[in-house]
Each structure stands twice: as structure tokens, then as C-alpha cells.
Structure 1
């Protein structure tokens, strides 16, 4: 198995971290890669101060938008709201369930074969809830 490079995703506040849009892992911060940059010494350098190289961000994961302009955080929030409103889950459980069901699609966020709009999020949540066990009577026998 090839390790995910966490190339895109979004920060999702209720999950308290950056969520990778490829593997859907919750990370403590947005992935970054650093590089060392040398300081250009001026021609009239007096020799008294030299700071050496410094680090700067060479790359960071992007906030990818789907073809209709939806970000991962917007999509997950829409699924979670549907789980809260129709499924009766509290906010924390709804966000965890939303992340799980999105991960179960087994494609990265933004994949062209899926509907990543808010309506697509509602449809995904409704389909998942149709498989949930319901408490109480299920109808006349």
C-alpha cells in the first residue's frame, strides 16, 4: 500500500483538524513541506552579522474544490447536518459519521464520478440512513 501524500483537503473545525481529501485522515495541521533558503549577502557586507539559512514553506496542501465549487468542509458539514436533523445524532457523532460515510466511497474528494454538491451530501446521508436499524415498531405484521 502506498502512503497518502495528503495533497489536498480542508480544515474541519468540529473534527479539530485538517482532513485529507484523499485518505480522509484527520491531521493535526495542514500538511506542509519546508525548504532552506540562503540569505543573499550584500556586496557591502560588514562581516559583523550573518543569519545563515532560514526555513520557508515550499509547499502546502491545497483546499480543493469540486467541479461545482464545494469544499470538503462544506460537503462534510452538509452530511453531518443531515445526520443531525434526520438521524437524531448529536453534532460530534454526526461529524464522525459524515467522515466515515465519505471515506467509505473509496474515492478522493472531488472525484468526477460523484456528486460533491450539498444536494449530493444530503443524498449520501439519506441513503446511509436508509440502512440504519430503527427502534420501535416497523409497521403492521
Structure 2
């Protein structure tokens, strides 16, 4: 999957898009050529000579209106999954499950219609867990 969305966060060693939740190998960057005048070579009544350089702008980190980052939100979801399953998930598996769960909502991170707090992360997980089949030990069957 090729993603061109301009924001996200680093989650479990990958860049995760904050809109489509695609995993990318590195943080996206944009490049802009900038003209920089050279003041020491300027002569009177002439425009300053210039050099050009290329500035790199990394993709911004996704945050909600209260400052919660995408990585912190997924971390909260993963911790809740591990706690509810009493260690039935490893942390990398819990993170992957949380990402899949977010993909199912089809809402970009930070959308004001959803709660992106720690409590919201727990609520998303709690709601999903209601639909699991449970065995007597309390782990996923």
C-alpha cells in the first residue's frame, strides 16, 4: 500500500499514517528548494547573488486537539488489550491489533467526533472485546 498522507507517528519502529493507518518504512519527507542570498558578494545596485539549497521537511506528528499523539493512543490501546487478556497478547501483537481496530473505524486520528484520550482508547478496546468468545480462563478462545 502506498500512502501519500502528510501526517502520522512512529509506532513500533514503523511510520504509521494518521489517516489510513498504513505502515511505512520511514517518515515521509517533503523537499523544497530555497534561494539563499550571499551577502558578502553583493555589489551596489545589483541583486545579491544567490545559492540554492534543498530544505527537508519531515511529516508532522499526528495529535488530537488535546495533544495526544497517535503513538501514545495506540500504546494505551495495546496496554488495555494486554491487561484484558491477562498477558494473552505480546506487546507487538497488541499494537498490531490496535492498528487493525483503528482501521476498522475508518476515521483519521484526531477527528473531533471520537474520543482520543486514554479513556477513549480503553473504551474502543472494551467495546471490541465484548464481541469476542471467551473461555473460562478469560483469554480469547
- How would you bin the TM-score normalised by the shorter chain? 0.7 to 0.9
CA contact (8 A) 1:39 1:53 kept: yes
Matched, 1:76 2:74: yes
Matched, 1:37 2:34: yes
Using the alignment, how far apart are the partners of 1:60 and 1:110 within structure 2?
19
2:4 is paired with a residue of what secondary structure? coil
Using the TM superposition, name which of 33-42 and 116-125 deviates more: 33-42
1:9–1:18 contact (8 Å) kept in structure 2: yes
1:134 is displaced (CA, Å) by 1.9
Number of the residue aligned with 1:109: 109
Q: Does the CA contact (< 8 Å) of 2:73 and 2:121 recur in 1? A: yes
**Is residue 2:20 matched to residue 1:23?**
yes
Describe the SS at the equivalent of 2:33. strand
Report the alpha carbon displacement of residue 60 of structure 1 after superposing the two structures with TM: 3.0
2:48 maps to what in 1? none
Local SS of the residue matching 2:10: strand
Number of paired residues? 127
Residues 12-57 of structure 1 deviation map (CA, whole Å, 9 limit, x = unaligned) = 1x2x11111001011122211112334545238xxxxxxx643211
**TM-score, normalising length from structure 2?**
0.78
Q: Is the 8 Å Cα contact of residues 19 and 108 (structure 2) preserved in structure 1? A: yes
Query: What are the ranges of 5 or more consecutive residues in structure 1 without an aligned counterpart?
Result: 45-51
Which SS does the other structure have where 1:96 is aligned?
Answer: helix
Post-superposition offset of 1:76: 0.3
- Bigger drift between 20-29 and 3-12 goes to 3-12
**If the length of structure 1 is used for normalisation, what is the TM-score?**
0.78
Consecutive unaligned residues of structure 2, counting only runs of 5 or more, are 44-50
Deviation at 1:133, TM superposition (A): 2.0
Cα separation, 2, equivalents of 1:126 and 1:106? 18
